Amino acid sequence: MQPIKVAIQGFKGAFHQDAAELYFNTPLNLVECLTFNELVNSVTEGRAEKGVMAIENSLVGSILQNYTLIRESDLTIEGEVFLRISQHLIGISGQRVEDIKEIHSHPMAIAQCDDFIQSIPHVKVFATHDTALSAREIALNQIKGVAAIASERAAREYGLEVIASSIESNHNNYTRFVVLGKTTIHSDGTANKASVAFSLAHKVGSLQAALQTFSRYGVNLTMLQSLPQVGNPWEYYFHTDAVFRHIDDFELALDSLKAIANEVKVLGIYTTGIKTN
């Protein structure tokens, strides 16, 4: 059996790799992508069979651009996985925190470690494309005085040392990843969650009416996010995740929403992911 080709944002040692392995639980052929746009294009154009994309973090919130990327693509959300994130300060061996002059990492990782960063004001912080890429660059160039915020796995992958461990501001730190593919949206009988994007007329009560279509049929909204409609100032797309007891309940709610919304797009119907430690 050939390994599944899975596109991830980042490089070996990235949390995206951990999430992909946790979800598929089978050998993978990773397609490393520098950006989320490249990840989506890799699946759309067939260079990868599936994609695993971070969408929100329990400490710092949503990655807004990714909602737009999914909505504007032809890909569907086929599943989700929650990954416990433990961030570490890693660098060339033999260094202490006092020796570090610069920290490089992905903006989301930096935001998750804000308390630690505030405690070392002498250090300059630089945002990069990826946690693991930051670690790899330090290792390849043997740069002292510069550290990356990344996983312990990245430290092992690139022969670096953990200078400070578990530096995330809150240890109850999870990132939700969605699994993307080109399958037709359908319920296999085990699905109990859906992701939906919709837009509404800009008038009094329109959002309230939209939300009531879900509560009317016992569908629980676990996330609601608004994003601007580019070119239409002060008009918004709403993205929501809906958990339901039976697919019929969701279908009834969806029909009611379509009757009052300007636009509705179901991004995926899938089974709720399980949080792991």
Positive/negative CA dihedral, 18, 19, 24, 29: negative
Which tokens hold the place of 224?
């609601």
- What span, in angstroms and rounded, lies between the C-alpha atoms of 159 and 92? 8
Instruction: Say whether 177 is catalytic.
Output: yes
Residue from 187, 212, 2 nearest 78 by CA: 187
Out of 11, 36, 82, 177, which one is annotated catalytic? 177
Active site includes 183?
no
Give the E-state strand segments of 106-262 in sequence order. 124-127, 146-150, 161-164, 174-181, 193-199, 220-228, 236-243
The one catalytic residue in 76, 128, 131, 175 is: 175
Please state, as a whole number, how many other Cβ atoms lie within 10 Å of the Cβ of residue 199: 19
Give the separation between CA 147 and CA 125, rounded to whole angstroms. 10
Active site residues: 175, 177
